[in-house]
Structure 1
Amino acid sequence: METIKTATSNTAKTSLKDKLTGAKLQLIVMAAAIIIIMLFFSIMTDWAYLSPRNISNLFRQTAITGILAIGMVFVIISGEIDLSVGSMMGLLGGAAAILDVWFGLPLPLTIVLTLGAGFLLGLWNGWWVAYRKVPSFIVTLAGMLAFRGILIGITDGTTVAPTSQEMGIIGQSYLPNMLGMMIGLGGLAMYFAWQQKRRVTRKQYGLPIPSATANLTKHAAIGVAVLAIIFILNDYRGVPTPVLLLATLLIAGTFIANKTQFGRRIYAIGGNLEASRLSGINVERTKLSVYAMNGLLVAIAALILSSRLGAGSPSAGNIAELDAIAACVIGGTSMAGGVGTVIGAVIGAFIMASLDNGMSMMDVPTFWQYVVKGGILLLAVWMDSATKANR
């Protein structure tokens, strides 16, 4: 019996070590990719790429793709896909612009109606996938076409503009410098306190914990990075409101994925559907909830997009679903389901936004931008397939 316990303990430790090693390697690869991308574009643009104004614009670009990626990562982890998020974002953004411009509704009511519509559209996709057993690829492909058609129909193929100044607050406003710094410091303080509590709990139950030196180095690096970003953004106009929304949703998404029963069920369903069903998990209800949550996040991204553009456009959100999927895969999410992280998806979104921003500054032709992004997506999926056996 003692031998079995020892073997089990060693196996668990080895598994944990492998997971930590894989996570560290993935983080190192993404960090190296970001450094190489930013260094390349900085040299090619005579360092204009690293100007505070462009960094601010880069983070604002990341916000929309990042929010879409947060919703998409839960869908992919559950073993499904959503090809309709780009058209859905365009439709919801167009509807928000119509409510604001044509009907003159107050901003709070426009926000509530847009979020409600996004939730219902997510439920619609989820109902077909979860309860009608139609493959998610077909359901969301149909949604991609239908939502785009509805958008063109309700806007009559014209741009709905200009949106009100109140609407512009969502996507065009900035936090005052002092407020942005206070929020950053407060967030770091809460994060460090939570990490310390987690460390004490793991030590209490005899679970492996990183060394104090490694822990201090990690916390110092995170603190320096966050404060440096805030200083750079404050050097231009302050922290953009969309970036604050992205950070808030990132924290909420990470908490849902790691600390809730709902999040654990999503991973279980994506890892082994039949085992999850036999263990008592309501697979249909969980998948329906995942799609509803995704629809809600798409609505938030739609509000930011329309606010930033100051209009609702029939072409808004075109192929945004590919950017969201690519961000998830680059961030380590497996297309087979059961594997992925919210923070990885957001970092992947930042990489995609960095490429878009840099190629635009270099005046790279649009067709080459599509080619580069398509190649990166193919490479990321190939790497996922190549490492699937090891996982």
Structure 2
Amino acid sequence: MTTTGGKSFRKFLSENKIVALLVVVALIWALFGILTYDADTGTSGFLTARNFSNLLRQMAITGMLAAAMVFVIVAGEIDLSVGSLLGLLGGVAAILDVVLGWPLAGTIATVLLLGAVLGLFNGWLTAYLGIPSFIVTLGGQLAFRGAVLGLTGGITISPVSPGFKYLGQGYLPGWLGNACAIGLFVLLVAMALLTRGKRTKHNLPVATPVAEVARLAAIGALVLGFVLVLNSYQGIPVPVLVLLVVLGLFTVMAKGTVFGRYVYAVGSNAEATRLSGVNVNLVKMLVFGLMGLMAAFAGLATTARLAAGTPSAGFGGELDAIASCFIGGTSMRGGVGSVIGALVGALIMASLDNGMSMLGVDTFWQQIIKGMILVLAVYLDIVSSGNKRA
């Protein structure tokens, strides 16, 4: 590749990461659509509304973790404990619901509070005691997994109440799904206009009005297609709705709040941010608290989906979340990343899992392929940033 060609390639990757990722998703779906095509029925097993519904429900849990993991990695840290924390919080939810018979609202509130507290504790150890987050969360991974084994006695706790089960297995009515889709699109348009206004105010480059309208129209088409496909089966799954709400809130948090700007500043240059008067330690602790809160949501969704609390729930979840972030364009050096990119990364991971499972690919091959894709994603991050080693 020539120098000019290399620069153009890096510029394309840097400016169009989400577009490139969506193209990858389309190619993956097309490939599995062809490979699962049944000539007798004239249909593809992969390209059905039912399978898309299952695929999105499957990726919702990873997406919840990945959405918060973006903030952790952008801040220059890592969290290896979220899979075990998910399992612990899901086990606590099952105990409160099945064994103690708590009302659903009390169970949800308690689990969310516990997740936030444990996440803040990880952040306190990292930010204020100076223990590297890798060590803190590796220790948490072991401790949380041991705790869930002790609480559950190593057995599955079931069945959860019908109301709890609905959180993981229920669907929204068609009209409500349509309303949520419209709300999401309006929010994304508002964020785009707000971002454009701020960049114009500070004399920063912006896309042409035609390009901006085309981008928003493409987003609208994707949202419309998403809702129509899911409504043609049974509607939007409840965990997917939760993920869409998380997408909206976290996108606003990242792009439209002081806290979001502080997180990116800390990841870009922590010392300069500290000297500018920002409480870097507090920002890092809050990021881990946010991660714990999302682990709680994911734990509730997992227990509800399985209709039981299992000691093995969330095993390896932290690796899928981290991989989703890197595949979605989050930089391993910190300071760069987006929630939408991480969720598209989670969709790629879920699509690979779903498609290879339908084809009967052995589990070890699935792990090998996902590992290769992760390494490739990090390499593309290095290439796009122009920091390739000589």
**TM-score normalised by length of structure 1:** 0.91
Amino acid in the other structure paired with 1:56:
S
Return the match for 1:333 from 306, 315, 330.
Answer: 330
Once the two structures are overlaid, the 10-residue window that deviates more, 180-189 or 74-83, is 180-189
Aligned to 2:73: 76
State how 1:149-168 maps to structure 2 within 5 Å: 149-168=146-165
2:172 is equivalent to residue 181 of structure 1: no
Shift of 1:208: 3.8
Aligned to 2:26: 35
Equivalent position SS for 1:323: helix
**TM-score normalised by length of structure 2:** 0.91
**RMSD between superposed Cα atoms in Å:** 2.0
Once the two structures are overlaid, the 10-residue window that deviates more, 30-39 or 290-299, is 30-39
Shift of 1:19: 10
Distance 1:151 1:201 in 2: 47
State how 1:221-370 maps to structure 2 within 5 Å: 221-370=218-367
| 8 Å CA contact 2:82, 2:317 repeated in 1 | yes
Equivalent position SS for 1:364: coil
Alignment CA distance shift 1:63-1:342 (3 Å):
same
Overall identity of the aligned pairs, in %:
50
Distance 1:277 1:213 in 2: 40
Distance 1:179 1:249 in 2: 17
Distance 2:145 2:195 in 1: 46
Alignment CA distance shift 1:189-1:74 (3 Å):
closer
Shift of 1:362: 1.0
Aligned to 1:14: none
Aligned to 2:50: 53
Shift of 1:272: 1.0
Aligned to 1:44: 35
Distance 2:358 2:327 in 1: 23
Distance 1:96 1:299 in 2: 9
Aligned to 1:11: none
* Offset from partner CA, 1:106-147 (integer Å, 9 cap, x none): 000000010011011101111110111111111100111111
2:372 is equivalent to residue 381 of structure 1: no
Distance 2:201 2:288 in 1: 38
Alignment CA distance shift 1:306-1:78 (3 Å):
same
Distance 1:170 1:63 in 2: 12
Aligned to 2:206: 209
Amino acid in the other structure paired with 1:147:
F
Equivalent position SS for 2:46: helix
Alignment CA distance shift 1:81-1:38 (3 Å):
same
Aligned to 1:9: none
Shift of 1:61: 1.0
Distance 2:203 2:138 in 1: 49
Aligned to 1:13: none
Aligned to 2:17: 26
| 8 Å CA contact 2:125, 2:136 repeated in 1 | yes
State how 1:119-158 maps to structure 2 within 5 Å: 119-158=116-155
Aligned length: 375
Amino acid in the other structure paired with 2:179:
M
Amino acid in the other structure paired with 1:36:
L
Amino acid in the other structure paired with 1:307:
A
Equivalent position SS for 1:333: coil
| 8 Å CA contact 2:91, 2:310 repeated in 1 | yes
| 8 Å CA contact 2:10, 2:384 repeated in 1 | no
* Offset from partner CA, 1:327-346 (integer Å, 9 cap, x none): 00001001111111111111
* Offset from partner CA, 1:211-269 (integer Å, 9 cap, x none): 23212211211111101110000000001111111011111111111111111111111
Once the two structures are overlaid, the 10-residue window that deviates more, 373-382 or 105-114, is 373-382
Alignment CA distance shift 1:237-1:81 (3 Å):
same
Structure 1 residue runs without a partner (length 5+): 1-16
| 8 Å CA contact 2:13, 2:384 repeated in 1 | no
Aligned to 1:90: 87
Alignment CA distance shift 1:56-1:298 (3 Å):
same
Amino acid in the other structure paired with 1:217:
A
* Offset from partner CA, 1:292-323 (integer Å, 9 cap, x none): 11100110011001000101111110101000
Shift of 1:164: 0.8
Distance 1:197 1:336 in 2: 28
Distance 1:192 1:66 in 2: 22
